[in-house]
Amino acid sequence: MNLAWMIGALASALGIGFGGGLAWLMRGAQQGFNFIYSLCAGLIMGLLFLEMIPESIELGGWVDLGLGLVAGLLLFIYIHRLMDNVTIITGSHQKDIFVRSGVLLSISIAIHNFPVGIALGSTSGTGIGNLMLTTLVLHNIPEGIIIFTPLFLAGFGILTWMVFTTIIALPIAVGSLLGQFFGIGIPSLLAFVINLAIAVIFLVSLKEIFWEAVKNSSILYCSIFGTFGFSIIYLYLAILN
C-alpha cells in the first residue's frame, strides 16, 4: 500500500491551514463582521455553484443532485436541532452564532472531503492523482477561510486552528484508504454524499451567515459584498483552470 492517504490528508491540511492563516489575519476586524460574513457567504456560493454542484452533476446527474439535496436538508435540520440543545457559553450571543457557524461549516466540509478522498485514493500514482493533489491544496484555501473566519471572530486561537484542520483533513485520509482498497466505488453514491454536503453548506451559508449579516446591516450592503466574494471565487477558479 502506498502513502496516498497520508499525502492526501497533508495536502488538504495544507490548503485548509493556509486559508485559516488568512482568516487569522482578519481576526481583528470583528467590528466589521457584516462585511466579512457577507464576503464569506459570497465565497461559499461561488464554491457551490461554480465547483461543487457542476462536479456533482457530472458525477451522478440531476436525480442524485435532487435526492442528495433533500437528504442534506433533513441532515441540516437534525444537526441544527441537536446544536440547539448544546449550550455554547461565550458570554456573547454574537459569538455563539460565530461558533455555531464554524462548527456547522466544518462538519459540512468534512462530509464533502470523504468522497474526494475516495477519488484521490483510487487514482493514486497516476497523472490524474497528482493533478488532484495540487487541486486539493488550492481549492481548500477558500474553504479554510470560510471555516475559520467565524471561529476566530468568536475568539478562538491557534489551537482551534490545528484541531479543526486535523478533523477536516481526516476524511480525506479515510476516503483515500478506501479508494485504494476498493477503487472509485459507485459514482452515484459519491455524488449523493457530495450533494448532502452541498445542501448543508448552502443552508449554513444562507441562514447562519448571510442572514445574520443582513439582520445587522441591510440586504443591499450584504448583497454587494456577497457578489464581490462570488466574483473572487470565479476569478480564482478561472486562474486555476
**Which one, of 140, 183, 196, 182, lies nearest residue 165 by Cα?**
140
Q: Are 36 and 157 in contact (CB under 8 A)?
A: no
Tens digit of pLDDT for each residue in 187-219?
A: 777 778 778 878 888 887 888 778 878 888 889
- Of 74 and 186, the structure prediction assigns the larger pLDDT to 74
pLDDT band at residue 230, thresholds of 50, 70 and 90? very high
Q: Are 144 and 164 in contact (CB under 8 A)?
A: no
| pTM exceeding 0.85 | no
Least-confidence region, from 2-11, 38-47, 71-80: 2-11
Q: Are 12 and 113 in contact (CB under 8 A)?
A: yes
pLDDT reported for residue 34: 81
